[in-house]
Amino acid sequence: MPYTIALAGKGGTGKTTTAGMLIKYLNLNNKSPILAVDADSNANLNEVLGVEVTQTLGDAREDMKKGKVPNGMTKDVFISMRMEQAIAETPSFDLVVMGQPEGAGCYCAANSLLSGFLQKLTGNYRYLVMDNEAGMEHISRLTTRNLNVLLIVSDTSRRGIQAAIRINKLASTLNIGFGKSCLIINQAKEQPSDEVLALLESSGLELAGTIPENEMLYEFDMAGRPTIELPENNEAFKAACDIFDKIIT
């Protein structure tokens, strides 16, 4: 199984941007092959990575549920074929977008097939980076399992820190299976206050480090430029790399 890092956090904290910097870090450090999985229903990891996506696993799930499996083809062969088509390949990493159900009804059979084939797919990679939905929904549904690192991203606000603590607490009560969890404080104008540090210490959530607010990162976002194109000497990216050096083996 690959070394798996899942990212979680409140919306607007820069979770997906951090996932992009993590994938760039892994690639620069020859930690490959890498599979990026966008498990956020509001999928935009592909934009951060500069990859065009035409098909998602959710599309395959919808077609199977609507009976669009060709005559003479079993459902498992159909899902396998569509999964292969949904992999966006690049020289540096591969990307799969999970997508979401669009209609009412039961998706149990399709979800079960997708889970099985996704598990087979991930066996081909050394590292897996999973960008999840904002909040705790993906954890409560147990769609994020067998992690090496649960990387929780927060901004500097007290509300963001408290959301991160709740995510960590929920994860620890569920049978997810993860080696460790830690917090990245993103978009930081200054180092965390003593109050924030005391709050984290009392909760047991480890602070892995901070990523400073960065004008170039903001300009990339406004221009729609992929974050993965940030120069290696960018201060935010360098700070992120220092954190990744500590938490990823």
Average pLDDT of each block of 10 consecutive residues along the chain (249 residues)? 89 91 97 90 88 86 84 86 89 88 56 68 90 68 72 91 91 78 93 90 94 94 91 97 93
Q: Enter the tokens of residue 249.
A: 């083996």
Q: Delimit the domains of the chain by residue range.
A: 3-247
- Choose which CATH entry (3.40.720.10, 3.40.50.300, 3.30.160.270, 1.10.357.10) describes domain 3-247: 3.40.50.300
Pairing status of strand 147-154 against strand 3-8:
parallel
Residues of 50-88 as b/e, b for ≥16 C-beta within 10 angstroms? ebebebbbbbbbbebbeeebeeeeeeeebbbebbeebeb
- Between CA 114 and CA 83 the distance in angstroms is 8
What's the pLDDT at 171? 83
What's the pLDDT at 62? 81
- Between CA 230 and CA 246 the distance in angstroms is 21
Q: Enter the tokens of residue 72.
A: 């003479």
What's the pLDDT at 10? 86
What's the pLDDT at 88? 94
Q: Enter the tokens of residue 220.
A: 């990339």
Work out the mean pLDDT of the chain and round it to a whole number: 86
- Compute CA 124 distance to the chain's CA centroid, rounded to the nearest angstrom: 18
128 forms beta bridges with: 4, 35
131 forms beta bridges with: 7, 38
What's the pLDDT at 136? 60
Q: Enter the tokens of residue 7.
A: 């990212």
Q: Which residue has the tokens 């892995």?
A: 208
What's the pLDDT at 158? 86
What's the pLDDT at 46? 94
Summarize pLDDT for 82-101 with one digit per residue, the tens.
888 889 999 999 998 887 66
What's the pLDDT at 211? 97
Residue pair 10/163 in contact (Cβ under 8 Å)? The answer is yes
Q: What is the DSSP letter of 191?
A: P
Residue pair 123/1 in contact (Cβ under 8 Å)? The answer is yes
pTM of the model: 0.89
Give the CA radius of gyration of the chain. 18
Residue pair 96/88 in contact (Cβ under 8 Å)? The answer is yes
What's the pLDDT at 112? 65
